[in-house]
Amino acid sequence: MAYAASGLAFASWVSRLPAIRDGLDLTPGNIGLLLLCMTLGSFVSVSASGLIVLRLGSKRTIRTGSIMVGCGLVIAGFGTSVLATPVAVAVGLAIIGLGTASWNTASNVEGAAVERAVGRHIMPRLHGAFSLGTVAGAGLGAWAAAASLPVFWHLAAAGVVVAVSVTTAAGWFRADVTPVAGQRAYVPDNFEDPSTGPIPIITPGGTQAESAEAPLDNKRRIAQAWRDRRTLLLGVMVLGLALAEGAAGDWVALALADGHGQTDAAGAAGYGLFVTFMTVGRFAGTLVLDRFGRVPVMRWCAALAVFGLGLFVFAPVPWIAFVALAIWGLGASLGFPVGMSAAADDPAKAAARVSVVSTIGYGAFLCGPPLLGLLAEHVGILHSLLAVMVMLVVSFLLSPVAGKVP
């Protein structure tokens, strides 16, 4: 539910970008600046996400993040349809960014822990749930655009569904178990360093000495993860594929509308096609990874993403552009889940390393698209997407770092 609701929230506002653009009379550069507001909020949140998750636990982090995202959707819709001012929309997107980043990091930490516990690849399926949420969100967005539903009513409904569903579902999460006074809290991924012993994760029943020690240990582990060479290379590998996913999310609908002459509804449907094939790739990814391993799969993913993106940009007729979106979606499908799994190979350092790879990946996912908007002012939306191909080539070359650590 946490993954699916995050996808629904993301696709809901992304699919209405053409309507937001028309309602506020924005240029591509203005849209890029608007998206930058969400990026700044997300970057602040994701930079601290490792400490937040280690300190608060996954359940509270996910619940808080979902409520913030729900409020942000309502504000962004209100700013578009009622106030008609980019400032209100920027505030809403910034709140969405603050809530989403730490929420998603917490989900990845818990997903990696469950994957280690069951001893098989399940992260692609968890991220597949995110993609199912984006498919649903894009489909509803296409319907809302075709029915000329005001952006406010669409995003307000999505915000309520996201906040209520996740906070309710979190009641069944088993990641955070409150101990009796003085006992150590349950750590789902057996996060322990041979030199220092278990991290003292403290709940309100803990002692004052333990509470003072916990933040220091957590900060040290996060700092060590940022100095680990393999973790950083994994982050760069994920960066390229995350940028391909994020660029599609923010710009495909507009690229189809402005670059290939399609309607706003067709643009939203094109993004729906992209996330549909991304979902197919993620659910099929568990079987493919079990059979061929991470490194060959990552190479093929990067290659498919490069081919699909290039075909989309230079498609001579619209139907080829839609085929290209399917290929592009398949190629971008496994970057995040495989990166999270690889970062969690060492159970003792999984939480810190997953947070680092998440930070780098989400940084590209969120920072790249606004910068593409500024580039689009000079070369057009379609040709600005070619910049993504450079990082996809880097991801292809770095695919060996995804190999499982013995």
What is the reported pLDDT for 134?
78
Residue 276 CB contacts under 8 Å (≥ 6 apart), including other chains: 131, 135, 326, 329
Q: Residue ranges of the alpha helices (H) in 84-228?
A: 86-118, 123-146, 151-169, 208-226
Of residues 390, 391, 389, 383, the one with CA closest to residue 360: 391
Of residues 9, 6, 5, 30, the one with CA closest to residue 20: 30
Q: How many CA atoms lie within 13 A of 17 on its CB side?
A: 32
Pairwise CA distance, residues 267 & 283, whole Å: 25
Q: What is the mean pLDDT of each run of 10 residues along the chain (406 residues)?
A: 84 81 77 79 79 78 88 88 84 89 79 73 81 82 83 89 85 50 37 37 36 58 85 90 82 80 79 84 87 90 92 88 92 87 78 81 71 76 83 90 75
Q: What is the 3-state secondary structure (H, E, C) of 251-315?
A: HHHHHHHHHCCCCHHHHHHHHHHHHHHHHHHHHHHHHHHHHHCHHHHHHHHHHHHHHHHHHHHHC
Pairwise CA distance, residues 366 & 382, whole Å: 19
What is the reported pLDDT for 300?
92
What is the C-alpha end-to-end distance of the chain, expressed in Å?
Answer: 32
Global pTM value: 0.69
DSSP state of 317: S
- SS3 of residue 192 by DSSP: strand
* pLDDT digit string, tens, across residues 23-76: 787 777 777 778 778 878 877 887 777 778 777 777 788 888 889 999 999 998
Q: Which residue has the tokens 């990067």?
A: 302
